[in-house]
């Protein structure tokens, strides 16, 4: 069996399932996608619940999402997860998008329903809120939060979740000021009476003041994925006692987390977010199931 499939493998069920004990009926799509830990979490849950289905990685290039959805539906897929850089394209390719996903600005979970409608959801936002409560034993709504990389799909979803939770202060950070200028009015629509502060990474002095003043710092950028990456922010943005969460989970300890731990911060990587958003996604596909235990064990949490 292939570790990563492509759109060409969706030509027929015989080709896709050659040598496999179970039919592929769920997938994570992205580009690249070989690093995704989702199969290692979802497959144990499927097996534990006796569901005859295989969860695969599917490398899909930007521009091919709608075609991929059509082929997955033809092959009888239940649904799929969507990772970078396809979350915005996935939303456009869905026939129906849940109101929360539309508010969060991206789709990361898709369900192919029997009525012929492809439905899109976002589990990043609610999964993040659950993960923070689980990690730090404090509701997200009580924390002052800085979101690093708020202009991307996951960053927008997390920033919007923070606004919807009415966090007392929200600092949104991005390289591109234009993206911040477009995002902030949408955030303020959810929290008109709360503090929302946009700042670019280039504004180093203001960045340090705003980020260090927050209770929770969340990295939603890709900085830290590659060997040799520096911490996404410098030490003057952090202080002892802060919560620092990196949405990256491979490597387990990013340069940001290593820097934060050395400064006395409480840290966590992206595995708890992966777990909680995955549980919610699984329940979109299989309502009433409880996959938490099997998924938590598979991720070593």
Residue 193 to residue 12: CA distance in whole angstroms = 54
Phi, psi angles (nearest 5°) of residue 79: 175, -170
User: For every residue of 200-217, which 3-state class applies, written as one string?
Assistant: ECCCHHHHHHHHHCCCEE
* Count of beta carbons in the 10 Å neighbourhood of residue 53: 18
* In the block, residue with structure tokens 């409608």: 117
Where are the extended beta strands (E) located within 78-186?
A: 79-82, 96-97, 109-112, 118-121, 145-148, 169-174
- Preceding peptide of 251 cis, ω within 30°: yes
- Whether residue 87 lies in the annotated active site: yes
Tally of CA atoms within 13 A in the half-sphere of 102 that contains its CB: 9
Sign of CA dihedral 251, 255, 259, 260: negative
Task: Give the three-class secondary structure for 229.
Answer: coil
**Catalytic one of 2, 22, 87, 179:** 87
151: phi then psi, degrees, rounded to nearest 5: -85, -15
User: Cβ–Cβ contacts within 10 Å for residue 235, how many?
Assistant: 13
Q: Mutual orientation of helices 271-285 and 292-299 as an angle, nearest 10°?
A: 150
Give the count of alpha carbons within 13 A of 117, CB side only: 8
Helix/strand/coil for 80: strand
Q: Which residues are identified as catalytic? A: 87
């Amino acid at each position: 069996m292939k570790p990563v499939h492509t759109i060409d493998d969706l030509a027929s069920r015989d080709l896709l399932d050659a040598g496999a004990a179970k039919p592929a009926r769920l997938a994570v799509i992205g580009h690249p996608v070989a690093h995704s830990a989702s199969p290692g979490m979802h497959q144990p849950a499927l097996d534990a619940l006796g569901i005859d289905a295989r969860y695969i990685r599917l490398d899909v290039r930007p521009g091919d999402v709608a075609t991929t959805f059509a082929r997955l539906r033809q092959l009888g897929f239940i649904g799929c997860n969507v990772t970078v850089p396809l979350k915005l394209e996935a939303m456009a390719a869905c026939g129906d998008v849940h109101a929360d996903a539309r508010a969060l600005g991206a789709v990361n979970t898709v369900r192919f329903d029997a009525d012929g409608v492809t439905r899109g959801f976002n589990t990043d936002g609610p999964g993040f809120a659950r993960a923070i409560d689980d990690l730090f034993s404090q509701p997200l709504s009580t924390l002052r939060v800085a979101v690093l990389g708020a202009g991307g799909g996951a960053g927008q979803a997390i920033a919007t979740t923070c606004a919807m939770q009415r966090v007392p202060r929200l600092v949104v950070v991005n390289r591109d000021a234009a993206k911040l200028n477009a995002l902030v009015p949408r955030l303020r629509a959810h929290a008109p009476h709360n503090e929302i502060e946009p700042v670019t990474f280039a504004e180093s002095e203001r960045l340090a003041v705003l980020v260090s003043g927050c209770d929770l710092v969340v990295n939603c950028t890709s900085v830290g994925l590659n060997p040799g990456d520096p911490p996404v922010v410098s030490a003057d943005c952090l202080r002892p006692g802060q919560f620092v969460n990196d949405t990256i989970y491979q490597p387990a300890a990013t340069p940001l987390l290593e820097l934060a731990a050395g400064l006395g911060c409480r840290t966590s990587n992206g595995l708890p977010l992966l777990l909680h958003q995955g549980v919610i996604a699984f329940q979109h596909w299989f309502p009433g199931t409880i996959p938490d235990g099997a998924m938590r064990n598979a991720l070593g949490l």
